[in-house]
Amino acid sequence: MATETDHGPGEAVAARIERRWATLSIVIVALLVGMAAVIGIHRATMPQARVETADPKTLHLSGEFIESNLGSAVEPDGSVTVRAIGQQYSFTPQCIVVPAETPITIRATSADVVHGFLIEGTNINTMLVPGYVSDLPVRFSAPGEHVMPCQEFCGIGHQGMWGKVKVVDRTAFLNMTAAKRRLTCAD
């Protein structure tokens, strides 16, 4: 094969085509990044803004994650707050009950190692890291049941860590809250 190189018009053409492709690539990347930015800001689908902490050593003694405070509660503004914790190898509450068509805030943390919090059939998916509180706004469009596996390896019982979420009609949910301050569907 010849090793000498020609620096004629061929080289200029090659360089021009290559520049065009590079420009196109930059445009594609800019478009994708721009899309993510616009959707993030317009649809408020940004991740959790602040870092909040919770000490797993004292979770059960004081603060918002004491046992009697776990489960779903109605707030004065009509929204619902769900508090939950993950531990090897279960969730508390093991079954979460929530109303459909209602703004819900999930606040959750871990009592020991890193766990995951995934509600199948929805886009609800977050990590539970001991020491930190995960806070996410969610909304369920229709009543139904979902499984809620832990999606991060948390020890040799990880495969058994499945919770449940029951989405009920909004009025049915409000009727249930008349009897109890914190709702769960785990018996």
Q: Tell me which residues touch Cu ion (CB under 5 A).
A: 150, 154, 158, 161
- Residue 143 found at the interface with another protein (CB under 8 A): no
Closest approach, Cβ 80 to another protein, in A, equals 20
Binding residue for another protein (CB under 8 A) from 70, 74, 82, 124? Answer: 124
For position 132 contacting another protein by CB under 8 A, the verdict is yes
Binding partner at 147 among Cu ion, another protein, none, C-beta below 5 to 8 Å by kind: another protein
Residue 57, token pair as written in the block: 């050593």
Please identify, among the stretches 43-51, 66-74, 97-105, 165-173, the one whose residues bind another protein according to the rule CB under 8 A: 43-51
163 binds another protein (CB under 8 A): no
Parallel, antiparallel or unpaired: strands 95-99 and 90-92: unpaired
Residue from 154, 165, 168, 185 that binds another protein (CB under 8 A)? 154
In whole angstroms, the minimum distance from the beta carbon of 154 to another protein comes to: 7
Report d(CA 36, CA 76) in Å as an integer.
34
79 vs 3: CA distance, rounded Å: 74
In whole angstroms, give the CA distance from residue 155 to residue 143: 33
Site residue total, another protein (CB under 8 A): 73
Element of type H or E holding 153: none
Closest CA to 151 of 173, 126, 186, 182: 126
d(CA 74, CA 173): 10
